[in-house]
Amino acid sequence: TFNWLLSLGFKGGTAVTLGALPSANGVDYTYARGTVDGFSVEAANGDANIDGSTNEFDTTSVDVNLPFYLDQQGMSQFVLPLRALRFHGTLSDVVNCIGHYNAEGLSPDNDCQPTETAPPFVTGGSFESHILLEDADQVIVPPLHQSLCVILSGDSATYGDGGSPALCKRTDGVIDYQGNWCSATDAPGDGACRDAVRFNGGFAASTVQGGSVQ
């Protein structure tokens, strides 16, 4: 279960993002706070530029540790340590959605079920961030008994150290696996810097109920 919340303030130009505990009804959410694998789980506060005429928005860069729950009770979890996270998108006319239900793309012949080419929602927002390999090697994914670094490498036989849990193999203290991103420049990696993995994508979202975000 992965619940990612974003709060945008029109008046103050604020942007707050954080994770939430699993929801029993998909409407009411409790914000996640605490410590997981040594990472502090709390709200990340930034600024937002919102165009009042078009409802387009951009946010400034923040770091946030998002919890990913492996059961509905929220007992088994790990974090995604996102760095230099930014959002861009367009709010709906009544400012309660980003993106929309894909009514035009789903077929009644298929009971309006989503397919590989027809997703259930059309995205209206995107995010950009990266994950440091050093951070990822501190995150243990419980069912796999591997660090997130090993999982991101896609080749545990080559880049895992064979331990339990398996961490990324190192040479002279440096992780052998090289990512596709450079954290220092926040740009694609090159021969001198490949210490991170890019984490970005598109999303659709709707208004949910929860306490005040701080």
pLDDT tens by residue, 69-114:
988 887 889 999 999 999 999 999 998 999 999 999 999 988 999 9
Confidence bin at 214 (pLDDT 50/70/90): very low
8 Å CB contact between 199 and 184: no
75-87 pLDDT tens trace: 889 999 999 999 9
Where does the pLDDT of residue 211 fall: very low under 50, low under 70, confident under 90, or very high at 90 and above? low
Give the mean pLDDT of 161-189. 97
Instruction: Say yes or no to pLDDT of 201 above 90.
Output: yes
Q: What does the pLDDT read at residue 212?
A: 46
Listed residue (30, 40, 25) closest to 5, CA to CA: 30
Q: What is the pLDDT of residue 210?
A: 60
Q: Is the pLDDT of residue 53 over 50?
A: yes
Judged against a pLDDT cut of 90, whether residue 123 lies above it is answered with: yes
- How confident is the prediction for the chain on average, in pLDDT? 92
Query: Cβ of 155: how many Cβ atoms within 10 Å?
Result: 9
> Quick check: 24 pLDDT over 60?
yes
What is the pTM (predicted TM-score) of this model?
0.91
pLDDT tier at 11, thresholds 50, 70, 90: confident
For residues 204 and 125, the answer to whether their CB atoms sit within 8 Å is yes
Instruction: Return the pLDDT at 74.
Output: 77
Tell me the pLDDT band of 31, cut-offs 50, 70 and 90: confident
- For position 63, what pLDDT does the model report? 98
CA atoms within 13 A on the CB side of 93: 0
What's the gap between Cα 96 and its chain centre?
A: 21
Range of the domain at 149: 4-210
For tokens 């959410």, the residue is 29
Which comes out higher in pLDDT, residue 27 or 164? Answer: 164
Instruction: Tally the domains of the chain.
Output: 1
The pLDDT value given to residue 73:
80
